[in-house]
Structure 1
Amino acid sequence: MTDILMTTPQFKTNDVALLLAEHYGLVGAISPLPGERDQNFKVEMPSGQRFVLKIINAAEPGVESEFQTALLDHLEKQTLDLPIPYIRRTMSGSSLATIASSSGIRHHLRLMSWVEGTPLAETSRTEGALQSLGRLLGRFDAALKGFMHPGALRDLDWDIRNAGRSVARLGHIASSEDRALVERFLDRFSSVSPRLATLRAAVIHNDANDWNVLVDENSPGQVSGLIDFGDALYAPLIAEVAIAGAYAGLDHPDPIGAAAAVVSGFNAEYPLLEEEVDHLFDLIAIRLVTSVTISASRRRHTQDNPYLAVSERAAWDLLRKLDQMNPRFATAILRKACGFDAAPGARAVASWIAKHRTDLAPLLERPVASYPAALVPYGDPGHPMTRMSAAEQPNQAQAVWDAICQANGAELGVGPWGEERSVYAGEMFVSRFIEKTRRTRHLGLDLFMAAGTKVFTPLAATVVSVEIETEPLGYGCLIALRHEPEACPPFVTLWGHLAHEAMNRLKAGDRLKAGELVGEMGSPSENGGWAPHLHLQISTDPALAATEILGVGEARYLDVWSELFPDARTFAGLATEFYTRNGRSPDEIIELRRELLLPNLSISYDRPIKFVRGDGVWLIDDGGRAYLDCFNNVCHIGHTHPAVVEAMAKQAGTLNTNTRYLHDNIVAYAERLTETLPKDLTVVGFVNSGSEANSLALRMMRAHTGRENAIVLDWSYHGTTQELIEISPYKFRRKGGTGPKSHVHIAPVPDGYRAPETWREEEYGTRFAESVRDLLAIMKSNGENPGFFIAESIPSVAGQVVLPEGYLREVYELVREAGGVCIADEVQVGFGRVGSHWWGFETQGVVPDIVTMGKPIGDGHPMGATVTKREIAESFNNGMEYFNTFGGNPVSCAVGLAVLDVIERDKLRDNAVAIGKYLIDGFGDLQARYEVIGDVRGLGLFLGIELVTDRATKTPATRFAHAVCNGARRRGVLLGTEGPFDNVLKMRPPMIFSKGNADHLISVLDETFADVTRTLA
């Protein structure tokens, strides 16, 4: 270093003018320029042309001078139009001239073209200019790919790999505090240094400091030139970016943002690797360490050469700023600038959570989305809370939340991710990245409920830490959990503002299963002074300690924080619709329905619900509240099942047409469907609904028997067409109905619960079948014969009535003896809902002549089917064509196949058996505690609970049933009421119903029965 200073050229301006004329034949005005080791001059010609004349330090080896010449020659030959200086050759054609000083020291002389522009150091360093710098460096380094020269392998203190030499210069730093600062960065570099040898290396500029970078005077966002190649060498490629980033951050209010702009530009021209970017923060810092230690060691020369100390103060300031930053957060910003995940695997974590959201255990006693919820308006500038002082806000939050509950009927308060909050006013919320900026954006999800509310982990976890923050406005009890689900990068969840009881129950290393207790929401006295709530946060960087995780961040870097600390709403179980409402309000829709739709189109519940999305067993309303759907059996395998959606979209995107053309799907589906049925049922007619299926069945019956007489069960329902209304007592015996037609004969519902007390249970089937025998006798006495008998295999609107054993077997035998046809209406109960069999009629040990299907057949897609025996199909083939425009179309058949595939693949019949029994047992437990429950019945997932005011008299408790139905709705569970007295709770949940769903249903029923019992007592 001393040798370099002793051999620095000291030529006077007049001598330089003579050298210029002697070697280049040029005459111009000469003025000195800054330089560290070399002597630089500006040359202005009378023509306006300008040059830079460099007298090279005599200590510079010749091979290094030759290296710079070769480098510039190489770049000139690339014809990339890079804004860099190019060599002007001597009159003898040489790239260098050799000269001697007055003391006899020999130097090399080089003349290069002048590059226009203002030094970056003298500009405001706009983001555009810094990105432009990065792009220029990327193009520059890309142009040097494959270039090598012996002079590039030089030993230079400014080589980032030699930054460890700064240790030897520490003694020149006068301040012990500054020495300690530098030592901290040198300690970090000691672990980085060995890894540099594994990174990509190339010839780089190595000194893109803010005086060597020029900005276009007329376009401040555009870099116009890069100069001074005196430090060029072979080094890690990432050093180029680190050096430029270090100088870009000098005196910049957002130094990491400045570096990120450089990185973004460089990456656009010369893509960086993740492992390179991960070292950037330390390399930026260590370049500054090299700069300040070299300046300190040469301080006695500073007055003679101000270039040596030109950026020393700014470098020290930036080092102090970097020392206050969390390097992992800074790295996240730099990674994001390159398009990488803010932390490795961050996006994969968010994707995994979204994909597996339905597999997560509830975070609260019930799924979070099932609670009526409201926003807690910390971010509302017009709300009274935001006009309180920072000290008042936490203490007043409880009163505000109580008011929200009362006004909105809410049980859960939500403080959203990303919300701007003025409450963050303490010194702890000052930004470490951006000057004169506060961290005001909430990076967690707040869930407000009463103190003592238990919270559970949605996913298996290992306890990382359990600690207490005692500071005001702190977290109180803070728990960190590490999750390592299969096929997902590990991530951490942070649970703040909990009660201190967890300290005695959990410790680091404990394992928690999904659904296990994490803690309880703390009271203000132990949760930092806040209203009771949970602060839940996800960290996709599992290396961060609990106290390092940012609960509040800068708006400027919200895109980075969104990957590093993604919104926990999905993990917690909140629906996206909670935050935004679209379309018309429920009241507007009700009014338009009155104006535009048939007036007798009914709406469920005292307070109608507007649903906007279905998801498995859930229906989500326009406010984001999720309702457990235990009623709509159309969604047989769950709302919007992905297999059905995919099959529908794929076929619809290929072809949809009618049955007059050949297609594989219709025969493939007919084959699969008939395989589920007894072997005699082999011929299929495809339609679009259960009503059409039953209408087609009647046409087949008439063609086969030539008769009209019908035997139907009381309170049965078979469809919407006029001929079906005429055989549906549920319709023609109620308001608006005209009673039975003469050809319709009504048998009583074979309801064992309401059978005469004198009958024994084992004879119910025979006893109820006698009523059909009587009807047949009456017909015969009138000279008539039955055309058909039709019944649901489990009468549904009659009250979920399970037929007595042997009933259908005896009835079918009687009807067939009289020449009639037996039709099984499986529109509601088919496709494995009973669990033990594919079809409800199979539980009675019979084979009908015709089976009709609808509702669950397409999981919500409108389709239906009628399946019959060969001889009936032949009778129907009487010369009249049967054609249905949409029945059996390729899209519908693809959907039907997908439904069958899922039922079989996921063993949903087995699930119906297991969960159905679990629910029956649970309902039985409720029956033991609530006198109002008269009967519990059902098969598989086709269930009913009959309510009575007196078990002895079996007096229907219709009012109670309606109250339970509406009470369950208020608690987020959808039920229906059916039966002749409308006193039977009707439940037909999707076949994917889980034990957790069953527990939720039982819990809500328990709570609702207790509430209604108190209310109606």
Structure 2
Amino acid sequence: MLNTKPNFCLNDAGALLSRHFGIEGALAPLDSERDQNFKVAADDGRTFVLKIINAAEPPVEGDFQTALMKHLGEYAGDLPVPRLHPTLSAASLAETTGAHAAIHRLRLVSWIPGVPLAQSDRSVAVLESLGRMLGRFDASLRGFMHPGALRDLDWDLRNAGRSADRLHHIGDPDDRALLVRFLARFDKDVAPRFATLRAAVIHNDANDWNVLVDPDNHDRIAGIIDLGDALYAPLIADVAIAAAYAGLDHSDPIGAAAAIARGFHREYPLLEEEIDLLFDLIAMRLVTSVTMSASRRAQVGDNPYLAISERPAWTLLRKLDAMNPRFATAILRRACGFEAVAGALTVGAWIDRNRKSLSPLLDRPVATYPADLVPYGDPTHAMTVSSAAARPHEAQSLWEDHCRDTGVALGIGPWGEARTVYSGEMFASRLVDGARRTRHLGLDLFMAAGTEVYTPLAATVVSVEIEKDALGYGCLIALRHEPADCPPFLTLWGHLAHEAVERLKAGDSLEAGALVGEMGVPEENGGWAPHLHLQISTDANLAAREILGVGEERYLDVWTELFPDPGSFAGIAGEFFKRSGRSHEEILRLRKELLLPNLSISYDRPIKFVRGEGAWLIDDRGRAYLDCFNNVCHIGHAHPAVVEAMARQASTLNTNTRYLHDNIVAYAERLTATMPKELAVAGFVNSGSEANGLALRLMRAYTGRENAIVIDWAYHGTTQELIEISAYKFRRKGGKGQKPHVHVATVPDSYHAPADWPIEEHGKRFAESVADLIAAMKARDEAPGFFLAESIPSVAGQVFLPDGYLKEVYRMVREAGGVCIADEVQVGFGRVGSHWWAFETQGVVPDIVTTGKPIGNGHPVAAVITTREIASSFNNGMEFFNTFGGNPVSCAVGLAVLDVIEGEDLRRNALEIGNYLITAFRAMQERYEVIGDVRGLGLFLGIELVADRRTKAPATEIARAVSNGARQRGVLMGTEGPHDNVLKMRPPMIFSKRDADHLIAVLDETFIAVLERAG
């Protein structure tokens, strides 16, 4: 075969330079594979490159390079690339004749000063600069085309499959097998997609010798040279080629590629489908390089230029072969601002958005367990990973001792924790030379061996396998979840007992709440203290063993998207990991110093709540408590509709009622529409106490009287005049006793009615107590001004008035000239389920109704609703004004509460869930002798505990123990009644069947524990 490569000596080359370009100077040879290049130091101080082109190059290719350089000069004049210097005849090229009469063309271009990238440190900054330079280069060629660009080169990545024809030149069978693996991936996954990719004229050879670094700033690219391999090809090929060479001998070749891609993307935005092929294209450039070198070596023997990058290319190929391509691609995607895998962020958002509807991972919600961090991240602690692996039983014993001493029931090893104690080759990074994988990418839940774990979401079993390696997973299960409106994702469940292997198989379907497995003992879980390793993979195409349990610190941002924190999926409150604010001790100290000393506080060990959500309260340690007590948040804590209405109106206007505003009349209209037609006029205040105080003013204006009839053990507010009519206050410690104008009727408690009273007569018999009080007043020539009662007395012990009681009492009071006031502060707004207002269950219409607490779902607002006649009597010349009562924000909140109650049909929910709970409580009554009575309507419930069912003697200590025991198990309730022996429950109206089941389970468990201790 005729050798067409030019072979001119320095003198001859100098003569050509002078003859055709009129330049004199010193020449020095430059390395070249096909052509002959010389560096020219011209006598006038300029520097050039003289290229004598291989005679075999078709003229059209030379014309293509000429056109390419001219285009760059015209449209990218600031790009540091070679510029054409014309011949003496103003042509772009000259010609000369070489050996064997071969015709060679000559090109003279400007010299670009700089240090080859191959000889630099290849910092992240310089590689990003390279990407930007290459992006600018390719962007400047948009719209440029030439016939010479459509040439057939083996270096065209579309032709990388031709490397298979050169495999016979690779002597080592392992090396050959390595190349076969990449070729197989290329044929299957890459080559078929070329036709869909964007293509353009590209540089096609930004190798580390063709890229120059600024000698004065090693973080900046000075230029790109050698346009000899430019052609029309997929745009992404330029990034792949640059990345392939930049990764040679680089400690983090994918990081190098990511920096180049990031820089390119900033100048010339890449598409996701292009980045998804980048890893394979990088590898195939290297495959082409090593097979070309082997082929040429076989033809021409040793050639330093051919072999110059072969050794590091093989090293990099072996590194790439050891990597998971999907992880490498995730890093490249993330570098360009795309999700690590398509849909990754959607998965996390879906879980956060739907976390409240997920089934519990343990036998009850994880957040309800008293929990603590397991100190695996502390290398000095005996419970570290290495210690646990070496002495699992000792580690387990240490943890059990800690739980017993602190009351902790659950240990949590957090996602993202730095665990520098991980050792062994299995934790060495496959991405970064010399680095280790130290960041925990799952969530560990430590409980006793045999603890069952359940899937929070419906799933299909992907795999069930046993990993026998030390420090491995033991029994490992992968589940695939495909919820609506969410990309599919995987969950990984590790360190389980082997029993699951016989129970589950790939393809099985699991409903939400189905058993996944049990926490295994050290002998079967990889040698660890019993726990569950739970992990999410947003890449649903990974096999179970491909999912990284521990990742590199450097790529934590990528792992965050690929393997997001499963805390929400598991049901862990974020406050568990992020604690802020003052300590309990400091707050208690400051309360004593700064607040009234008799300000009440719940529990011997007070709770610091930092967040409310629905039926749950979350404390500063991330523990969630099911709130069955705080009836202020009627439709659930922080209901989004209320929050939104409050914020929207507060951001627009808040003022007082001296000005006109739509909200106050709109709310009055809506509120009175829930009442009997007689109750048509509303007045707005800020609290239940203010409402009852206003009710007394209305009463006085209408009757001119002061005499009050109230029920024993009643509570109506915090002002002095309300304390004076609240037997719960004035008869207890600190009270001043009963005032002369206050008359106390017997609590109409059917459970404690005399045994000889027929049940159908309870209402009438208890009403006789009121008749006696009216008669006594009449004997003194006095009359009652009003009768005030909660429609269901709460503090008295969740007492449900016997049928006919209010009807009889109202008749007697009205006949005596008094008014009847219904205190609905605790029981109104549909809580009873069957009606909007509890007084309606008695078939009566009060003269005045007071509301509070639930009216604003936690916002301070209350109301009084009365008849037009009473309202008119109040219009006596003295104005009524309340600075904040009825303000636009409060009324917007009130409207939102009504909207939610009606829109979500919460009255029906209250009735159904209430009946469900009452049925369950009565079943408990059959099991536990201490339960004397179960009473309730809707979500207003009571369980009275007695020492003896026959005598009905109160079991006060048992009631307190049950209330405290429920609190310890994460459920809030209270005790009420004259003897504090009635368990009081007022869950929010949104209380679900799942919430009810949790309450039932905790009560059952608590009764068993308390009664066992009591003997």
TM-score range for the pair, normalised by the shorter chain length:
over 0.9
Say yes or no: does 1:726 pair with 2:724: yes
Tell me if structure 1 keeps the 8 A contact 2:383–2:399: no
Q: Compared with structure 1, are the counterparts of its residues 457 and 230 closer, same or farther at alpha carbon in structure 2 (3 Å cutoff)?
A: same
CA distance in 2, matches of 1:212, 1:309: 16
1:385 offset after TM fit, Å?
3.4
- What is the CA–CA distance in structure 1 between the aligned matches of 2:26 and 2:165, rounded to whole Å? 43
Q: 1:409-459: per-residue Cα shift (whole Å, max 9, x none)?
A: 211011111112244312221111111122121111000000111111111
Indicate the residue corresponding to 1:238 in structure 2. 236
Q: Which amino acid aligns with 1:814?
A: M
Structure 1 letter corresponding to 2:928: Y
Note the C-alpha offset of 1:305: 4.3
Partner of 2:450: 452
Report the CA distance between 1:46 and its aligned residue. 3.4
Cα RMSD of the aligned pairs, angstroms, is: 1.4
Q: Partner of 1:427 in structure 2? A: 425
Aligned to 2:479: 481
The corresponding residue for 2:68 is: 71
Corresponding residue for residue 173 of structure 1: 170
Aligned-residue offset at 1:210: 0.5
Tell me the distance in 2 between the aligned counterparts of 1:233 and 1:492: 43
Partner of 2:39: 42
Inter-partner Cα distance in structure 1 for 2:635 and 2:807: 30
- Which residue is 1:88 aligned to? 85
How far off its partner does 1:391 sit? 4.5
Q: Distance in 2 between matches of 1:76 and 1:828?
A: 83
Distance 1:396 1:888 in 2: 64
Residue 468 of structure 1: CA displacement? 1.3
Q: 2:901 aligns with which of 900, 903, 909?
A: 903
2:512 is matched with which residue? Answer: 514
Conserved 8 A contact 1:606-1:966: no
Q: Which of residues 555, 558, 567 in structure 1 aligns to 2:556?
A: 558
| Paired residues of 1:963 and 1:1012 also in contact (CA < 8 A) | yes
Residues 201-259 of structure 1 show CA distances to partners (whole Å, capped at 9, x for unaligned) of 11111111111111111211111111111111111111111111111111011111111
Q: Structure 1 858/387 Cα, relative in aligned 2: closer, same or farther at 3 Å? A: closer
Q: Report the residue type matching 1:566 in the other structure.
A: P
Equivalent residues in 2 for 1:112-261, closer than 5 Å? 112-191=109-188, 192-261=190-259
AA at the equivalent of 2:365: P
Secondary structure of 2:196's aligned partner:
coil
Matches of 1:674 and 1:512, distance apart in 2: 50
Q: Residue by residue, what CA displacement relative to the aligned partner does 1:50-108 show, whole Å, maximum 9, x if unpaired?
A: 11111222222212111111112111112451121211111221121122213221122
**Residues 818-868 of structure 1: CA distance to partner in whole angstroms, max 9, x if unpaired?**
111111111111111111111111111111111111111111111111111
Aligned with residue 329 of structure 2, among 328, 331, 337: 331
| Structure 1 residues 812-851: aligned runs within 5 Å | 812-851=810-849
Whole-Å separation in 2 of the counterparts to 1:765 and 1:333: 75
Contact 2:382/2:395 (<8 A) preserved:
no
C-alpha contact 1:376 1:404 (8 A) present in aligned 2:
no
Q: Which amino acid aligns with 1:673?
A: L
Equivalences for residues 362-381 of structure 1 within 5 A: 362-381=360-379
| Aligned counterpart in structure 2 of residue 997 of structure 1, from 980, 992, 995 | 995
- Mapped pair 1:858 → 2:856: yes
Aligned residue for 1:29?
26
| Equivalent residue runs for 1:241-390 within 5 Å | 241-300=239-298, 305-386=303-384
Q: Is the 8 A contact 1:765 1:806 kept in 2?
A: yes
User: SS of the counterpart of 2:153?
Assistant: coil
What is the identity, as a one-letter code, of the residue corresponding to 2:61?
E
- Preserved CA contact (<8 Å) 1:385 1:393: no
- Opposite residue 685 of structure 1, the aligned amino acid is G
In structure 2, what is the Cα distance between the partners aligned to 1:434 and 1:636? 55
Q: Distance in 1 between matches of 2:738 and 2:657?
A: 37
For residue 609 of structure 1, what is the aligned residue in structure 2? 607
Aligned letter for 1:67?
F
C-alpha distance in structure 2 between counterparts of 1:493 and 1:479, whole Å: 8
Counterpart in the other structure of 1:546: 544
- Give 1:388 shift: 5.5
Would the aligned equivalents of 1:302 and 1:309 in 2 still touch at CA under 8 Å? no
Matches within 5 A, 1:1000-1011: 1000-1011=998-1009
- Ranges in structure 1 where 5+ consecutive residues have no aligned partner: none
CA contact (8 A) 1:390 1:424 kept: no
For structure 1, which segment, 945-954 or 398-407, has the greater mean C-alpha deviation from structure 2 after superposition? 398-407
Letter in 1 for 2:866: T
| Alignment-mate amino acid for residue 971 of structure 2 | V
Q: Indicate the SS of the match to 1:385.
A: coil
Count residues in correspondence: 1014
- TM superposition score normalised by structure 1: 0.98
On the 8 A contact 1:467/1:478 being kept in 2, the answer is: yes
Cα displacement string for residues 700-728 of structure 1 (whole angstroms, at most 9, x for unaligned residues)? 11111111111111111111111111111
Deviation at 1:300, TM superposition (A): 4.5
**Corresponding residue of 1:769:** 767
Letter in 2 for 1:252: H
- State the Cα distance separating 1:644 from its structure 2 match: 1.1
Equivalent residue, structure 1, for 2:526:
528
Does the CA-based 8 Å contact 1:36-1:305 persist in structure 2? Answer: no
Question: Which of 100, 105, 111 is equivalent to 2:97?
Answer: 100
CA distance in 2 between counterparts of 1:51 and 1:83 reads 14
Alignment match, 1:111: 108
Is the Cα contact below 8 Å between 2:753 and 2:762 reproduced in 1? Answer: yes
- Mapped to 2, the partners of 1:873 and 1:46 lie a distance apart of 109
* Equivalent pair of 1:374/1:408 in contact (CA under 8 Å): no
Secondary structure in 2 aligned to 1:197? helix
**1:20-42 deviation digits (Å, cap 9, x = unpaired):** 11111111111111222222111
Cα displacement string for residues 161-188 of structure 1 (whole angstroms, at most 9, x for unaligned residues): 1111111111111111111111110100
CA contact (8 A) 1:956 1:981 kept: yes
Asked whether the equivalents of residues 497 and 517 of structure 2 are also in contact (C-alpha less than 8 Å), the reply is yes
**Counterpart residue identity of residue 416, structure 1:** P
What secondary structure sits across from 2:660 in the alignment? coil
What do residues 874-912 of structure 1 show as CA deviations (whole Å, max 9, x unaligned)? 111222111111111111111111111111121111111
> In structure 1, which of residues 928, 939, 942 is the aligned counterpart of residue 937 of structure 2?
939
On the 8 A contact 2:385/2:422 being kept in 1, the answer is no
**Within 5 Å, which residues of 2 pair with 1:385-784?**
385-386=383-384, 391-392=389-390, 394-784=392-782
**Conserved? CA contact 1:374–1:404, under 8 Å:** no
SS of residue matched to 2:768: helix
Q: Tell me, which stretches of 5 or more residues in structure 2 are unaligned?
A: none
**Equivalent residue number for residue 54 of structure 1:** 51
Query: Match for residue 804 of structure 1?
Result: 802
The aligned amino acid for 1:620 is I
Q: Counterparts of 1:736 and 1:249 in 2: how far apart (Å)?
A: 81
| 8 A contact 2:374–2:383 mirrored in 1 | no
Whole-Å separation in 1 of the counterparts to 2:535 and 2:737: 63
Q: Percent identity?
A: 73
Distance 1:359 1:523, change over 3 A: same
**Matched letter for residue 604 of structure 2:** D
User: 1:639 Cα deviation (Å)?
Assistant: 0.9
CA contact (8 A) 2:641 2:896 kept: yes
Partner SS, residue 160 of structure 2: helix
In 1, the alpha carbon distance for the partners of 2:624 and 2:732 equals 34
Aligned 8 A contact 1:630 1:987 in 2 = yes
Given that residues 390 and 425 in structure 1 are in contact (C-alpha distance below 8 angstroms), is that contact kept between their aligned partners in structure 2?
no
> Which amino acid in the other structure matches residue 117 of structure 2?
L
Alignment partners' CA distance in 1, 2:331 and 2:194: 21
Match of 1:878 among 876, 900, 923: 876
Measured in 2, the distance between the counterparts of 1:661 and 1:114 equals: 81
**Which residue of the partner structure matches residue 13 of structure 1?**
10
Residue-by-residue CA offset, 1:569-590 (whole Å, 9 max, x unaligned): 1100111111122111111111
